[in-house]
């Protein structure tokens, strides 16, 4: 273990019943900041353990590893009465229950928040990650990142006329939903500190997808016009896109006239800034293709990597387009501690860094059921009870 200083959430106990992405990511964020997160997997395990290659030496996929550090793992069959009885004993000492079951599953098991959990555990915060929420025209429907990118309007503004609508190349809706779940838990903890009462909080993929539609939704609200596919271009700003150089492309994000003039000076073409076609941002947006031609002509003999660093050092928002490997190997990535290494595990660091209570990386992602006996003993189970639960298949030691 490394960097084991207590974080801002030290002392918080989280029972994480979630699987796949949004919920586990939320649990990992809580764990990175000091919470004791207990990952409760079904007898078959979290399916992302098999979402590879690549796999680690124990046969666990990198996909799982990216979402489940700083957790202890147990296996528990919640479809059986005995498994649910174990969960209820664990909740007696828990602050947060995190889950992303299909809406209605806990109610079917007799574990609904309103009917059971809120009465038995009044201080408990029940955080649910769902696809569409519990009610409404699509209430209780299952949700998946790519489907919500499609239905939430994200794909409709991502891509070009040639490619058509395109999925963002990472699970942005799932991950933002996980972050929204963390925000909701923090709000509920603040409320509990003031009132002594827990509450139910929900973070839905549908809501999170829509929340990402800036500036497209405000543009629609004002103009009524349907946004169009613009590829790497920004709908409201120019130059704000990727531009060719002699080597790799460079991305420019120039938001005002001062930056635009500086850009033109740095690339050796100050006359571009004097052209009346490009006098203001509105002019540059209208004439964006002509502006692209002029800028790319001026940058045709320049190295994209060097130019990107030159421009940002000069105060022009710009950067070379790097590969994932190049980004991870960048010296500033190391300086910002955004790659974590421990016990043979490598993962992304924590982006939130409170100065007095920094994140810590205490445990690599757990193997299946790795901590079952340890965790159950902490909740008062005797060794005989633990052995009986394992023998009955309630807490299997290996995936079933």
Catalytic residues, which ones? Answer: 174
Distances (CA, A) of 126 to 36, 106, 184, 373: 16, 11, 10, 25
For the packed helices 257-266 and 304-313, what is the interaxial angle rounded to 10 degrees? 130
Taking CA 376 as the corner, what is the angle to CA 371 and CA 381, rounded to the nearest 5 degrees? 150
Q: What tokens were used for 270?
A: 């100050």
Helix ranges (H only) for 95-201 are 105-108, 118-120, 145-151, 172-195
Alpha helices by DSSP H, listed for 203-280, are 205-211, 216-223, 257-266, 271-274
Whole-number Å distance between alpha carbons of 174 and 213: 15
User: Are the CB atoms for 3 and 361 separated by under 8 Å?
Assistant: yes
Residues 6+ apart with CB under 8 A from 227: 156, 157, 216, 219, 220, 235
The DSSP element (H or E) to which 318 belongs, if any, is strand 318-320
- Residue 190's CB is within 10 A of a number of other CB atoms, namely 10
C-alpha 70/C-alpha 345 separation (Å) is 12
Q: What is the rounded CA–CA span in Å between residue 197 and residue 138?
A: 30
Nearest to 56 by CA among 345, 339, 348: 345
Strand 345-348 relative to strand 339-342, pairing: antiparallel
């Amino acid at each position: 273990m490394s960097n084991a200083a207590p974080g801002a959430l030290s002392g918080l106990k989280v029972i994480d019943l979630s699987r796949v992405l949004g919920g586990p990511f939320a649990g990992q964020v809580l764990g990175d900041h000091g919470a004791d997160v207990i990952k409760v997997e079904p007898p078959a395990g979290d399916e992302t353990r098999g979402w590879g290659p690549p796999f680690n030496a124990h046969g666990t996929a990198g996909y799982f590893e990216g979402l489940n550090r700083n957790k202890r793992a147990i296996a528990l069959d919640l479809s059986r009465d005995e498994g649910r009885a174990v969960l209820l004993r664990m909740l007696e000492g828990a602050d947060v229950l995190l889950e992303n079951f299909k809406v209605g599953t806990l109610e079917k098991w007799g574990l609904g928040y309103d009917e059971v959990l809120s009465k038995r555990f009044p201080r408990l915060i029940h955080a649910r990650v769902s696809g569409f929420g519990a009610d409404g025209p699509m209430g209780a429907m299952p949700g998946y990142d790519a489907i919500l990118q499609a239905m939430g309007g994200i794909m409709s503004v991502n891509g070009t006329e040639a490619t058509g609508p395109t999925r963002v190349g990472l699970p942005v809706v799932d991950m933002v939903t996980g972050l929204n779940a963390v925000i909701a838990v923090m709000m509920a903890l603040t409320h509990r500190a003031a009132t002594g009462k827990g509450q139910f909080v929900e973070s839905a993929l549908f809501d999170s997808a829509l929340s990402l539609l800036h500036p497209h939704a405000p543009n629609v609200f004002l103009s009524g016009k349907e946004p169009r596919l613009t590829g790497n271009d920004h709908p409201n700003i120019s130059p704000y896109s990727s531009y060719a150089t002699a080597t790799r492309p460079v991305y420019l994000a120039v938001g005002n006239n001062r930056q635009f003039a500086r850009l033109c000076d740095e690339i050796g073409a100050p006359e571009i800034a004097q052209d009346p076609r490009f006098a203001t941002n509105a002019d540059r947006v209208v004439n964006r293709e002509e502006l692209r031609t002029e800028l790319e002509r001026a940058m045709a003999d320049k190295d994209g990597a060097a130019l990107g660093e030159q421009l940002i050092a000069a105060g022009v928002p710009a950067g070379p387009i790097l590969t994932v490997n190049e980004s991870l190997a960048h010296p500033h990535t190391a300086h910002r501690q955004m790659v974590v290494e421990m016990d043979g595990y490598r993962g992304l660091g924590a982006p939130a860094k409170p100065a007095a209570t920094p994140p810590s990386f205490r445990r690599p992602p757990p193997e299946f059921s790795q901590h079952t006996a340890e965790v159950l003993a902490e909740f008062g189970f005797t060794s005989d009870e633990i052995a009986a639960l394992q023998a009955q298949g309630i807490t299997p030691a290996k995936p079933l």
